[in-house]
């Protein structure tokens, strides 16, 4: 008597799940790094706009502004996004008559398997960019 076999065996399903888990284990860290690079680039773009605005103010007034009017830039980096979530960086400016530094500080975030990450990006009146990152190790309970 011939029996028609349909479906998958439990072993076949488990093999597929193990392969998918391995692929996800490789893909998720890469994805997180790509997302963080794009967020840093967004911050660098905003800092560049603030730098240009500050240099225009210096050309007009002879001193750098002590605060930045983001409304003039059509960009409020500290406002919430259209989805109602906070942006990824907080922005600030420290300036004197002849120099300034604009900073973008990453809002703290943590992904349990990868630990906490912090990032501060600064740009000065010369256009010199400084990026300071602090990647903490994940908690011991999540390390392999």
Q: Within a domain: residue 120?
A: yes
**Model pTM?**
0.67
* SS3 of residue 76 by DSSP: coil
Token duo for residue 134: 């602090």
Q: Within a domain: residue 5?
A: no
The arithmetic mean of pLDDT across residues 94-110, rounded, is 82
Q: Within a domain: residue 1?
A: no
pLDDT one-digit tens code per residue, 61-96: 888 877 766 655 556 666 666 665 567 888 888 888
Q: Within a domain: residue 3?
A: no
* SS3 of residue 132 by DSSP: strand
- Print the domain residue range for 76: 10-142
| Beta carbons within 10 angstroms of residue 121's beta carbon | 21
Q: Is residue 116 over pLDDT 90?
A: no
Q: Within a domain: residue 45?
A: yes
pLDDT of residue 18: 97
pLDDT of residue 10: 93
Q: Within a domain: residue 35?
A: yes
Q: Within a domain: residue 72?
A: yes
Q: Within a domain: residue 74?
A: yes
Residue 60 DSSP one-character state: H
Q: Are 134 and 110 in contact (CB under 8 A)?
A: no
Domain count, the chain: 1
Q: Is residue 138 over pLDDT 60?
A: no
Residue the block writes with tokens 């076999």: 5
pLDDT one-digit tens code per residue, 50-61: 888 888 888 888
Token duo for residue 41: 């680039």
């Amino acid at each position: 008597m011939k029996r028609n076999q349909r479906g998958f065996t439990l072993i076949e399903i488990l093999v597929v799940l193990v392969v998918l888990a391995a692929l996800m284990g490789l893909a998720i860290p890469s994805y997180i790094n790509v997302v963080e690079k794009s967020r840093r680039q967004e911050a660098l773009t905003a800092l560049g706009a603030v730098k240009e605005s500050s240099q225009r103010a210096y050309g007009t007034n002879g001193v750098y502004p002590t605060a930045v009017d983001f409304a003039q830039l059509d960009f409020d980096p500290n406002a919430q996004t259209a989805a109602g979530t906070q942006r990824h960086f907080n922005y600030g400016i420290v300036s004197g008559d002849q120099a300034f530094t604009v900073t973008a500080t990453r809002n703290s975030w943590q992904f349990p398997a990868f630990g906490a990450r912090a990032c501060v990006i600064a740009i000065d009146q010369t256009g010199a960019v400084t990026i300071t990152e602090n990647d903490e190790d994940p908690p011991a309970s999540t390390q392999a």
